[in-house]
Amino acid sequence: MLSEKKHIAILGSTGSIGTQALEVVAAHPEKFEVEVLTAQNNAQLLIEQARQFKPNAVVIANETLYEQVKGALLPHDIKVFAGDNAIASVVQMDVIDIVLTALVGYSGLQPTIKAIEAGKNIALANKETLVVAGDLITRLAREKGVNIYPVDSEHSAIFQCLVGEFDNPIEKIILTASGGPFRGKKREELMSVTKSQALKHPNWTMGAKVTIDSASLMNKGLEVIEAKWLFGLKADQIEVIVHPQSIIHSLVQFRDSSIKAQLGLPDMRLPIQFALGYPERLNADFPRFDFSKYPSLTFEKPDTETFRNLALAFEALHRGGNMPCVLNAANEVAVEEFLNDRLGFLQMSELVEQCMKKISFVTNPSLQDYIETNRETRAKAKEITKQL
């Protein structure tokens, strides 16, 4: 069995994924050592985490909170930095073995690039990194000999199904979706959806951004694009099926027609632990699945007419270039505006679709093209929001 400790940086340690990752670390102190913790605004929780796990360094992205964090951690001999640039710098520390990127949205791109350039393996919980710049990220990872271990439950399921099958070509993968809180509803029923309704996911406890994306099926659309890059697939090799029970987390079909699936109760600690511990499966006291309590597992096709985001994501994937970057940037603005009661639930898809029509298409984008596309799309999305 492997025994040497892995030294971990957790980017976004105060969020849903980050806090659950620290639960995994706490359960396996003989396997993991925390070197870096970062947070955007939650200074108090970051301080508490640093006191418990005693990392080498912490970063608070909101620079106005620097003195608060620094003062609290001064007696603990923990280095404190502030700002987004500091996050991109600390991931390059020699002592780090693996970087868990659990930042929300586009903010995860630059730190992930810097970590890969420094030769760090990545446990990827920030799907937007591959959505925005999948070609660039995967090419860079190959050049640097870096492994990217998926943390999303669906992509972890695919990865687990592929262990021992790496020489066997994939015919297709099937990503499962719960359908979110509005499964089965039609457009007229969603006209007056409130953010409190959209934030009530039936199976998973997640941050606000991911929960809204799940309700609109954009989260599944982003996962489709992420899967293309993680597993080297074409768009027509990726299928989405709605599975309300969230027990089968995804499936792989091979050329002999055989299908492998990964099952388990909805618990994000499992894919987090698998990514951090790979290739070893570590002991866990997570609840066990009982078939007798789930006599019926059901499946249905997603309703892409009502939930336009999934169709828009496939369109962005087919078009390629900077279009997935446009999709992501427009969606991040759409979710923010919806959460601030400035945009209706169905208008989020309208906003994304209009941005995809109005932003200039770049066939082979560079990093600078992605940065400019992200900036331009956000400005255009804010402008369109005022008109909707």
pLDDT at 2 over 80: no
Model confidence band, residue 115 (pLDDT cutoffs 50, 70, 90) = very high
Looking at residue 1, its pLDDT comes to 44
List, for residues 29-67, the tens digit of each pLDDT value.
999 999 999 999 999 999 999 999 999 999 999 999 999
Kind and range of the H or E run holding 141: helix 128-144
pLDDT at 78 over 80: yes
Least confident of 185-189, 207-211, 346-350, 369-373: 207-211
Report which of residues 281 and 106 the model is more confident about: 281
pLDDT at 365 over 60: yes
Looking at residue 210, its pLDDT comes to 87
What is the spatial distance between Cα 302 and Cα 188, in angstroms, rounded to a whole number?
A: 17
Q: Checking phi first, is residue 296 left (phi over 0); if not, alpha (psi -120 to 50) or beta?
A: beta
Start-end of CATH 3.40.50.720 domains in the chain: 6-150
Report which of residues 252 and 105 the model is more confident about: 252
Looking at residue 204, its pLDDT comes to 66
What is the spatial distance between Cα 349 and Cα 253, in angstroms, rounded to a whole number?
A: 31
List, for residues 280-307, the tens digit of each pLDDT value.
999 999 999 999 999 999 999 999 999 9
pLDDT at 106 over 90: no
pLDDT at 172 over 50: yes
Q: Dihedral (C-alpha) 122, 110, 217, 388: value to the nearest 10 degrees?
A: 170
**Mean per-residue pLDDT for 22-28?**
98
Q: List, as one string, the DSSP characters of 153-214.
A: HHHHHHHHHHTT-TTSPEEEEEEEE---TTTT--GGGGTT--HHHHT--SS----HHHHHHH
List, for residues 190-247, the tens digit of each pLDDT value.
998 998 999 987 776 678 888 999 999 999 999 999 999 999 999 999 999 999 999 9
| Residues in Cβ contact with 196 at an 8 Å cutoff, skipping those fewer than 6 apart | none
Q: Which CATH superfamily does the domain covering 6-150 fall into? A: NAD(P)-binding Rossmann-like Domain (3.40.50.720)
* Domain at 320-388, CATH class: mainly alpha
pLDDT at 3 over 60: no
pLDDT at 258 over 70: yes
CA angle in degrees (0–180, nearest 5) for 11-13-19? 140
Average pLDDT, the chain: 95
Start-end of CATH 1.10.1740.10 domains in the chain: 320-388
Q: Return the bridge partners of 260, or none.
A: 252
What is the pTM (predicted TM-score) of this model?
A: 0.93
Model confidence band, residue 279 (pLDDT cutoffs 50, 70, 90) = very high
